Chain A
Amino acid sequence: MDLILSALEILMRWDVALALLAGSVGGVLIGAIPGVGPAVAIAILLPATFSMDPIVGLTVLLGIYGSSMYGGSIPAILINTPGTAVNALTTYDGYPMTARGEPRRALSLAYSSSFFGGIFSVVCLILFAPVLAKIAPMFGSREIFLAALLGILLVVVAHRGQSLIAGALACFGIFLQTIGLEPVKYTSRYTFDQPFLSGGINLIVVVLGLFALSQAFVLLTSDDEKIRLTKLRGGMFQGLRELGRHPRVASVSASFGVLMGMIPGVGEFTAQFMSYTYAQKTSKRPQDFGNGSSEGLIAAETANNAVPAAAMVPLLALGIPGEALTAMMLSVFYVHNVVPGPGLFQNQMDFVVALYLALLILNVLVLIFLLVATKSLIQVVRIPNRFLGVCILTLSFVGVYSLRNSVIDCILAAIFGVVGYVLKRLSLPAVPIILGMVLGGIMEVKLRAGMARVKEPLDFIDRPVAFILFLLIIIVLLVHIIRVLKDRKELKEAEWQTKTASTRFGGLMWRRRNSFLKDHGKKVRARHSRLLRRLTDLF
């Protein structure tokens, strides 16, 4: 109780209240505009938050992160276009509801589910915080190195069908963070004798290029779409009642969100997929899923909104971000000399709880805002794409230039913007680059520190947590290899089924071996040769 009171004391400030309001309203707006995700907004606002107190800056960013998914459900339901990437699953059941004349029901159900997911995860984590405070100190250098390695591996294997190139891009991120002056031996690495590279490549410059500028380029080179909006009539409160009729789906989906959010590199997509599959399998009407099922909508929205609070766990407890947005938040901590990790949980537990309480209040604010202002808010989806591109380009300048007033940073951001644009055109992920940069830096420092006391290789995993993490890494690798082999086998089978001609005589003989060896085969061949002989005798 004392802990919660001291956390509330941290939050009882006018600037924190303003940050909560700005974060929640801003996040909903950003989420509601298709084409501007939370990553773009956080990247742009990041340098502006450096001048604020850590709690104020983080509240704004957390607000955007937590509330953008609420806003993202609006275009997903009304115009079948997800506002943020994680709202893609919402379109499956949300849009069919709109199509059959129930947009208000779909929106109110989405808001209620999101609210439940958000509150559930925050309450879980506040209750779980004392346990985390006990576990976190068990993480030394070796354990943090292994956890970071596990995080990178999970991010790579999560990109099914693209894991090779995702791995290559993660390694590119690892390489990028090594550029500049090496901090221990003071030797330069890949600076090509250029002074501007001695300080290294700033993470925020890369983030702004890959997320904000690239998105501006995508919008500037795309066409404007004509949008038809469905009119909303009546109140928005029926969703809360309807959610109450599906407590099992809501609580299981929120639990999936909390669990998946805590694992680095897994995040919203896996949580949504698992909860949606669970809801469909256990539903009395599985045939409705994808055609406007309320359970499907609840599963998708509850799971994705339970993730943001949980995603803060690896960041706060171990200093390891699990995805791009928390990686950006890590830089806010570093700028203020607040080092997230086991020490934070031991010494500044009130700060951690204050952040969770901020998320709790934020969810309430967002729900109130949405219930009251949805009818006016839906107009933001009308902003034309290319004009949005102009706006993002203008705002990106603030993000990059205000960092160090450096033209070189702007040039680098523009280069990464082009790289990000190419990746987007090819549907390749940019997130592994960011996580490679952040986790690569952590791994370098922690491996050096961890190896100082290691005499034999097995000493590295002689502590229980390190051993468990090592086992997890092996399991993840094995599961991935098995999945790749299975995919390959399926591909071979599919190729064989669609093949019209044999390419190898030996292969043909081998496949027809049964026909050659069995009595029936011998009879068939004898009949064929008899017929052939009769035919040749004619000539």
Chain B
Amino acid sequence: MPSERERRFVGPRRGQLIFAVGFVGLSVLLISQITTQTQWVEKSKFFAQPRFWPAVGILGMLALAGLHLYRLPWWRNTRYDWWEARKWLTVLEYTGWFMGYVLLVPVLGYLPVTLVFVPALAWRMGYRDKQMMWISVGFAFAVVILFKSLLGVKIPGGAIYEYLPGALRSFFILYL
């Protein structure tokens, strides 16, 4: 049966200890680097020192996260904590998809990569019927038209566009 302290804890139990330990660990790591990563300038006021605000931030992190860790109702990781940590790692797959998209756009161009990326990820997520595939393609097309062609956001044309003939080349680089 959970104790009163456990019942009053805001948020789920799983993963809290791992996060708190990790956060305190990061703070310790950062504070250990403060003398090498910041400078103390002579003849400068204390509050104007370049080291002052990083120190405020890291000491605050260390003190408050340390207290948070100390006040946690659990001091031992259970298998649920490790399952939770494994769940965190599952998103690395999607960061991989995102980074792949980022790296391919400057090479193959925004429109072609988006037209492949959205249906491919939708397929990966289990939407395999024709209707969803067409919706994915439509969405991809609409995003490119809205942002690059109409709003003119700064996304460079793909290197592959260089091989296109004259007027088409500049049209693709500018709008697609």
Residues of A whose CB lies within 8 Å of any CB of B are 47-48, 51, 160-162, 164-165, 167-168, 170-176, 178, 182, 184-185, 187-192, 213, 216-217, 220-221, 384, 386-387, 389-391, 393-398, 400-402, 405, 407, 410-411, 414, 417-418, 421-422, 425-428, 436, 440, 443-444, 447-448, 451, 491, 494-495, 498
Assess whether A401 is in contact with B102, with CB atoms less than 8 Å apart.
yes
Q: What separation, in Å, do the CA atoms of A161 and B105 have in the docked complex?
A: 44
The reply to whether the CB of B54 lies closer than 8 angstroms to some CB of chain A is yes
Assess whether B38 is in contact with A190, with CB atoms less than 8 Å apart.
yes
Q: Mark B139-159, 1 if CB is under 8 A from A, else 0.
A: 110010001000111111000
A80 to chain B, nearest CB (A): 21
Q: Of B37, B71, B97, B101, which is within 8 A of A190 by CB?
A: B37
Assess whether A398 is in contact with B4, with CB atoms less than 8 Å apart.
no
Q: Considering residues B60, B71, B140, which has the most beta carbons from chain A within 10 angstroms of its beta carbon?
A: B60
What band does the interface of chain B fall in when counting residues whose beta carbon is under 8 Å from A? 35 or more
Residue of B nearest to A490 (CB): B8
Q: What separation, in Å, do the CA atoms of A329 and B6 have in the docked complex?
A: 39
Task: Say yes or no: A187-B50 contact (C-beta < 8 A), given A217-B91, A221-B91, A394-B118.
Answer: yes
Residue of B nearest to A417 (CB): B95
Interface of chain A, main secondary structure: helix
Q: What separation, in Å, do the CA atoms of A217 and B67 have in the docked complex?
A: 30
Contacts of A407 in B (CB 8 A): 102-103
Q: Considering residues A171, A390, A400, A448, which has the most beta carbons from chain B within 10 angstroms of its beta carbon?
A: A390
Assess whether A426 is in contact with B147, with CB atoms less than 8 Å apart.
no
Assess whether B94 is in contact with A410, with CB atoms less than 8 Å apart.
no
Q: What separation, in Å, do the CA atoms of A190 and B35 have in the docked complex?
A: 10
B85 to chain A, nearest CB (A): 9
Q: What separation, in Å, do the CA atoms of A469 and B2 have in the docked complex?
A: 42
Which residues 99-145 of B sit at the A interface, judged by CB distance below 8 A? 99, 101-103, 105-106, 114, 117-118, 121-122, 125-127, 132, 135-136, 139-140, 143
Assess whether B45 is in contact with A451, with CB atoms less than 8 Å apart.
yes
Q: Of B10, B39, B92, B106, which is within 8 A of A418 by CB?
A: B92
Task: Say yes or no: A168-B23 contact (C-beta < 8 A), given A217-B94, A389-B125.
Answer: yes
Task: Say yes or no: A48-B68 contact (C-beta < 8 A), given A387-B132, A425-B88, A440-B53.
Answer: no
Q: Mark B46-74, 1 if CB is under 8 A from A, else 0.
A: 01101101101111110011011001000
Assess whether A447 is in contact with B102, with CB atoms less than 8 Å apart.
no
The reply to whether the CB of B98 lies closer than 8 angstroms to some CB of chain A is yes
Contacts of B19 in A (CB 8 A): 422, 426, 428
Task: Say yes or no: A414-B95 contact (C-beta < 8 A), given A220-B125, A394-B117.
Answer: yes
Task: Say yes or no: A426-B155 contact (C-beta < 8 A), given A175-B54, A182-B50, A418-B88.
Answer: no
Task: Say yes or no: A405-B37 contact (C-beta < 8 A), given A161-B8, A422-B19.
Answer: no
Assess whether B84 is in contact with A425, with CB atoms less than 8 Å apart.
yes
Q: What are 12 A-B contacts defined by CB distance under 8 Å? A: A161-B9, A167-B64, A175-B54, A221-B87, A221-B94, A386-B127, A390-B121, A394-B101, A394-B118, A398-B155, A422-B88, A495-B3
B152 to chain A, nearest CB (A): 6
Assess whether B125 is in contact with A386, with CB atoms less than 8 Å apart.
yes
Contacts of A444 in B (CB 8 A): 53
A288 to chain B, nearest CB (A): 29
Assess whether A161 is in contact with B37, with CB atoms less than 8 Å apart.
no
Q: Of A178, A185, A451, which is within 8 A of B47 by CB?
A: A451
Assess whether A448 is in contact with B47, with CB atoms less than 8 Å apart.
yes
A85 to chain B, nearest CB (A): 15
B95 to chain A, nearest CB (A): 4
The reply to whether the CB of B165 lies closer than 8 angstroms to some CB of chain A is no
Contacts of B102 in A (CB 8 A): 397, 400-401, 407, 410
Assess whether A390 is in contact with B122, with CB atoms less than 8 Å apart.
yes
Assess whether A418 is in contact with B54, with CB atoms less than 8 Å apart.
no
Assess whether A405 is in contact with B103, with CB atoms less than 8 Å apart.
no
Q: Considering residues B20, B106, B121, which has the most beta carbons from chain A within 10 angstroms of its beta carbon?
A: B121
Assess whether B154 is in contact with A405, with CB atoms less than 8 Å apart.
yes
Which residues 149-176 of B sit at the A interface, judged by CB distance below 8 A? 151-156
Q: What separation, in Å, do the CA atoms of A153 and B37 have in the docked complex?
A: 28
State the 3 A-B residue pairs at the shortest beta-carbon distance, nearest first: A171-B60, A175-B57, A427-B11
Which residues 72-91 of B sit at the A interface, judged by CB distance below 8 A? 84, 87-88, 90-91
Residue of B nearest to A449 (CB): B48
Residue of A nearest to B44 (CB): A185
Assess whether B39 is in contact with A187, with CB atoms less than 8 Å apart.
yes
Task: Say yes or no: A185-B39 contact (C-beta < 8 A), given A175-B58, A175-B61, A220-B125.
Answer: yes
Residue of B nearest to A487 (CB): B8
Assess whether B91 is in contact with A190, with CB atoms less than 8 Å apart.
no
Assess whether B155 is in contact with A401, with CB atoms less than 8 Å apart.
yes
Assess whether B61 is in contact with A386, with CB atoms less than 8 Å apart.
no
Residue of A nearest to B59 (CB): A171
Contacts of B71 in A (CB 8 A): 164
Q: Of A51, A168, A189, A495, which is within 8 A of B61 by CB?
A: A168
Residue of A nearest to B152 (CB): A51
Q: What separation, in Å, do the CA atoms of A421 and B91 have in the docked complex?
A: 8
Task: Say yes or no: A402-B155 contact (C-beta < 8 A), given A387-B125, A418-B95, A451-B45.
Answer: yes
Contacts of B28 in A (CB 8 A): none
Q: What separation, in Å, do the CA atoms of A400 and B98 have in the docked complex?
A: 11
